[in-house]
Structures are given as C-alpha cells and as structure tokens.
A and B are shown apart, each in its own frame.
Chain A
C-alpha cells in the first residue's frame, strides 16, 4: 500500500526556504556554515548583497531574494512529491575573482546556511564577468517505506 503525505506536510520545509532565503552565494568550495558562505574570503564569493547586485534581473531591491523568487508546486517526477523552483537570476555581478562550484541559499536575517547545491561545472570568474543562475529545483518526493525500496 502506498504511503501518503499531505502537500502541507511536504510544503512546510519548502515554505521555510521560500520565506527565509534572502541571499544566494556562489562559492568556490562547499561552505561550512553561514560565515563561510557569506563572507568574501577565498572560500566564498558574495554575489547577492552588494549594492551592485541590485542591477541583476530577478533580484529585488538591494540585491536580496524574496519569497516571490520561489515557486512551490507539484513535482513532475515519476516519484511524485512537491517542489520549490527558484527564479532565474540574470546578469548578477561577480564581486570577487575566484572559481564557482557551489551555490548556497542563506538567510542573512538569521545568519543561517539553509541549503547548498553544486554546479555541474566549476567556473572561473573575474570581476569583469556577470553570471546567470538558471532556475533549479529543490524537491521532496512522496514517501516510501523501506520495504518498497
């Protein structure tokens, strides 16, 4: 018998991200906590909260993300479930020359590192560059029991 979880149950975590993520950081390594993700040292590059970033398409005033930058809906995967889709960010200024391999979603308000994903391809960046971060998904599939796997 299939297990059932309500949309409300699965959406709780997704809503939390949509409501709390206000910055997105491109990092040169996997950040270990908020400070590494948000600081502009050799381990991470801040893209979102410099004033220059407010020129980027997709970011709100001051270069901050808002709940309007996320969409929650049904997953289209065979496993079902719910998904959160980020909005595409276009022409985000690169504030530090480094490489980019990870994307961190953080809350500047609560100094929280909330999610990290990787890039398929690590890219070298200079301050003359801008980046486009296409939409990507965070999904909770419908649950299964151990015996169904």
Chain B
C-alpha cells in the first residue's frame, strides 16, 4: 500500500528524433586514390542500386526477411 506521504510524480521525457542524411562514397574512375562524396554525380539508376544493395545487406546481416 502506498505511503500517505508519497507523491505521484509526472515525468517529462524528451522525444528522440533521428534525421537521416544520405550520401555516397565511391572511387572516381579518373583517380582511384581519391574518394568523393556526392549524390549528384551518380546517375539515378546507380543511386537506387546502391540503396537497394545497402538495404538487402542490412536485412541479411540482421536476419530480417521483410516483404
């Protein structure tokens, strides 16, 4: 049984917000020694391919089989 002097304290937890940013790192054809970050310099098909590969790899690594 609750002590008569006890209070019910209402806490105020902060919301957690994640804001993902996407960028790609790849080796340029001209100079394999340099790495450049860009989403603009890759064709859209290449970007989609990279994202799909990333998601599939992540799913396999984490044992997920989502449809």
Contact = CB atoms under 8 A, between A and B. Distances in A.
DSSP class of A's interface residues: helix, strand, loop or mixed? strand
Contacts, number: 105
B60 interface: no
B14 A144 contact: no
Contacts of B64: 12
Contacts of A9: 55
Interface in A88-127: 90-91, 100, 103, 115, 117-121, 123, 125-127
B22 A138 contact: no
Given A8-B66, A128-B6, A133 B11 contact: yes
Interface of B: 2-3, 5-23, 37, 39-40, 55, 58-59, 62, 64, 66
Interface of A: 3, 5, 8-9, 12, 26, 77, 79, 90-91, 100, 103, 115, 117-121, 123, 125-134, 136-147, 149
